[in-house]
Amino acid sequence: MPLRTASLAALLALTLAAPLPAQEMQALRDEVGDGAPMSYIGTRCAAFFISSAATLGDQIDEAMQEQVNNIVALLLMTAVNAMVETEGMDREAARDAATEEAMALTEAYRARFEANMEAGNAAFAEDPMYMTDNEDCLAVLVGEPEPAATE
C-alpha cells in the first residue's frame, strides 16, 4: 500500500484505533527525552496534524486539508524510513506499524481535546502540552533539530 494511501487510511480509521488515555500523554519533547525512537517523532507529529485538522473541521478548507494530508504523508514516510533504517524493520511492517501508531496517537489527541472541552476549555488553544507539541512539530517540518526534553 503506498504511503499516501496509508496516511489517508489512518485518517479514515480513527475510530478503530485503541486510544491512549489522554491524561497519560506527555509532551513530544519529553517523550524524545525519555528515549522514544526517531520514528516516534514522525508518527506523533502526523497524529498531531490529523487530530488538529479533524477538531477544526469545517474551519479548514479543502486546500488546507490537502496540505494537511501531504504533511501527514511526509511525516509517516519519515517514520517508516526511520523504522527501516534505525529499527531494522522491513518496509511493509514499518508502514503498518507507523500507521497503527499514528492512529492510536491521533485518538489520544482527540480524547485529550474532548476532555479539555468537557472541562469548559478550548479544545487545544489553552493546553500547554498541545502548544509545545505545536512548536516541536512545526520545527520538524522546517527542519530544525529534534525536540529537546524539558527540564
With CA atoms as reference, report the closest residue to 12 among 86, 75, 106. 106
DSSP conformational letter for 45: H
Distance CA 19, CA 1 (A): 24
Compute the average pLDDT of residues 75-83: 97
For residue 147, pLDDT over 80 is answered with no
Confidence band of 18 (pLDDT split at 50, 70, 90): very low
Distance CA 65, CA 27 (A): 25
**Looking at residue 20, what is its pLDDT?**
46
Distance CA 21, CA 105 (A): 10
**pLDDT (tens digit per residue) in 103-143:** 999 999 999 999 999 999 999 888 999 999 999 999 999 98
**Looking at residue 12, what is its pLDDT?**
43
Distances (CA, A) of 131 to 29, 48, 76, 84, 85: 11, 11, 21, 30, 30
Cell of 36: 522514544
